[in-house]
């Protein structure tokens, strides 16, 4: 029986993106979290996909917990209707607080910040700093090129195949949450053996 997830950190764009499927997926994930009584932990904004996820959670009666820096709150991007909003001083504090508060991590489409946050927790998993599942909700096929790049890193000898497989990818929020709940930590070492030569 899969372990119950009680909270999931979601990393996603502070812009809505150009494909309507991005917002649809974000809202669907938010509703699914609320229906399953899984708390949302996210960057605390009301804009873009971030706002779409949080609004959907709240509209469905769920809990949405934001973590935002003082600088971003001062720019008035903070969501004002959250279950809780924690204000921190730096981005490093923000990322650590979100990671500590979550049982699992999900990435939706986004830009540099989204990729940075997700790959940091994925690296922590690889290094054994934590053992929490990391998933990608592949809205509109957005992450196809990223998945190809990761496959290329495996082929080139920079990523162990077992570490590539740590990343759970699905296009359906409910199926992704089921797979994250059933996830087991990877035991492969970080460093690959040198190629025979």
pLDDT at 196 over 90: no
For 62-88, b where at least 16 C-beta lie within 10 A, e where not — what string?
bbbbbbbbeebbeeebbbeebeebbbb
The model's pLDDT over 81-110, given as tens digits with 9 standing for 90+, comes to: 999 999 999 999 999 999 999 999 999 999
Q: What percent of the chain has pLDDT over 90?
A: 85
Q: Cβ(83)–Cβ(64) under 8 Å?
A: yes
Q: Which residues share a beta bridge with 66? A: 42, 85
Beta strand pairing status for 64-69 and 84-88?
Answer: parallel
pLDDT score recorded for residue 192: 57
The model's pLDDT over 20-40, given as tens digits with 9 standing for 90+, comes to: 999 999 999 999 999 999 999
pTM: 0.93
CB count, 10 Å around CB of 28? 19
- Domains along the chain with CATH numbers: 7-181 (3.40.50.450)
Q: Cβ(21)–Cβ(139) under 8 Å?
A: yes
pLDDT at 197 over 50: no
């Amino acid at each position: 029986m899969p372990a119950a997830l009680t909270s999931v950190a979601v990393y996603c764009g502070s812009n809505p993106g150009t494909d309507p499927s991005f917002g649809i997926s974000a809202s669907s994930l938010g509703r699914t979290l609320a229906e399953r009584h899984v708390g949302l932990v996210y960057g605390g904004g009301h804009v873009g996909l971030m706002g779409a996820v949080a609004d959907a959670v709240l509209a469905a009666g769920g809990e949405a917990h934001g973590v935002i820096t003082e600088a971003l709150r001062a720019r008035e991007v903070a969501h004002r209707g959250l279950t809780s909003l924690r204000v921190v001083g730096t981005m490093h504090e923000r990322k650590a607080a979100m990671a500590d508060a979550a049982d699992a991590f999900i990435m939706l489409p986004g830009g540099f910040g989204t990729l940075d946050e997700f790959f940091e927790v994925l690296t922590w998993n690889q290094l054994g700093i934590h053992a929490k599942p990391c998933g990608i909700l592949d809205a509109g096929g957005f992450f196809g090129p990223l998945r190809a790049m990761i496959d290329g890193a495996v082929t080139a000898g920079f990523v162990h195949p077992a570490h590539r497989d740590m990343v759970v990818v699905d296009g359906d929020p409910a199926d992704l949450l089921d797979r994250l709940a059933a996830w087991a930590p990877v035991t492969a070492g970080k460093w690959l053996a040198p190629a025979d030569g």
